[in-house]
Structure 1
Amino acid sequence: MDEKSKIRVVVITGLSGAGKSQAVRALEDLGFFCVDNLPPNLLPKFGELVVQSKGKIRKIALVIDIRGGEFFASINDGMESLRGLGIDLEVLFLEASDETLIRRFKESRRRHPLSESGRISEGIKLERKMLSHLRGAANKVIDTSDLSASQLKNQVIEQFGQEEQSNQLQVTVMSFGYKYGIPRDADLLVDVRFLPNPYYIPELRALTGNDEPVQSYVMQSPISKVFLRKYYSLLRFLIPRYIKEGKTHLVVGIGCTGGQHRSVTLTNRLAAALAKQEIVITVKHRDITKDRKGDERP
């Protein structure tokens, strides 16, 4: 099958209440042929029908989750059958924190599909266990805990909207503050709280790592320069191997205490270095606008 007629299938899965419906609607807007709640044991037949369409259906999004009941166990075999037909298969996994999921279920007054006792937390715990293998195999994991519906849509469009980039590894370098929690969708995490902290310089305290004075302060330390060089070297070693494994999106999290000074500086520098390697780079500063009254501390 040549690249022009390549069939692309995105399997959307993840936790109940994490936003699969919003994600599939975003892909539908992008021109994907979408099927919700397809039983996994029908994947081989579905793949055959798509191939027989001879290019009429090339972009497909399938929502498959634990609603498949007893058929859900066959999802791995079903996905392998699609790959065996030469179909380009990607897995998008959506998740959120327990607190967020519980709140969403209570607001919607829906019952969790795995909660026999009626306790939402029990259903979530069981579902995480059932889906753990899929999360590990996912090409892209999105934590929707702090995302609005429109923000989730934007992330899906960013990931899947440019077909010409579908075979490239897209790298998101994200700064964050540990006091606001670790980003759940990060593939790699590094803690840069060992670097000099601009917070203790009065004239730098109100600035961020996007400002040149903060950047200069952080990067004047030999330790910062050595760290940047070594971590960049590590990523250059890892990225080709992720590509060979079939990974299409990598999230690198760089954290300091508040996510406004050191992590932002290193995120910007690392992203700029990686961009020279013809890698699709996205820079995100998760906590840069958070309230600074909590005071950053080492």
Structure 2
Amino acid sequence: MGTPEFAVASLDALVQAGYNVVGVITAPDKPAGRGMKLTESAVKKYAVQHGLHVLQPEKLKNPVFLKELIALRADLQIVVAFRMLPEAVWNMPKMGTVNVHGSLLPQYRGAAPINWAVINGEKETGVTTFKLKHEIDTGDILLQESFPIGEDETAGEVHDRMKEIGAQLLVKTVEGLENGTLQEKPQSSMVNGEWSMGNPETSGTHSPLTTHHSPLQHASKIFTETCKIDFTKTVEEVHDLIRGLSPFPGAFTTFNGKLMKIYKSKKEVTAGRPAESGLTDNSFTTDGKTYFKFACSNGFVHVLELQLEGKKRMLIEDFLRGYRS
């Protein structure tokens, strides 16, 4: 069960591993583009190419869909980047339903775990496979794998690495469930606003991490207000917001009365505030040829790649070539 490109990697990994995928459930075709032509999801395109049986329910509680799902007689259901499932669906298979989530649960439960991990300046993230239950992203953990986040890495780049890591972790999870070697581990308990994974018995490098205490971070849906850059913040905070929202939906500011999205940046931390050099917060400076930078509370954020309203996405050198102050 999945919809976007992220889910295709997991489906392909299961197919390549030789598992019998009896059905693929994905979103209905939707109008897209200027011509509003009906467009198939990435998962459906893959399924059709590989001759897999596809179901596209509008509503997951529809009796007709539930009857079709029962008829598939699946031993196990896999969910990757899909939608919330009713209990009638996730509790149907005898082996339950496994979800692939883009964080080291219980951290970053929610809709946008990759974005928020980067926005918050995390140095590492990971993938978790777990069994679904009532509350979202709270089920018992099966396996986890962590990996570092680069200082200048964007959410899109993390996404592309994560989908492959998650796909391989999923295959290991299914193998473990199949041969009975996996032990489900409850997610953390909360104590004074902090979480603790504890130190369960582990086997191999793909088990939950050891004891750790830190504030529990959430990964709520990204809204427009989240994407607006506040240049009164530090260089680090602004840089992390830009890369955490790149390539989609994109962090933005206004420039000469037009919306400007910034997709890539680099940091320049100064000894003093830019205001001491005659620059105030949220102002910019440029040589008109090679650099264009905004002042923040402790330095500058250099714009490397941007898109001005009504224009295409471009490198800063191309933008400055046509820029007139």
Name whichever structure is richer in helix by fraction.
Answer: 1
Task: Note whether the superposition's TM-score is higher than 0.5.
Answer: no
Higher RCO structure (Cα 8 Å, ≥6 apart) = 1
Name whichever structure is richer in strand by fraction.
Answer: 2
TM-score scaled by length of structure 1: 0.31
TM-score scaled by length of structure 2: 0.29
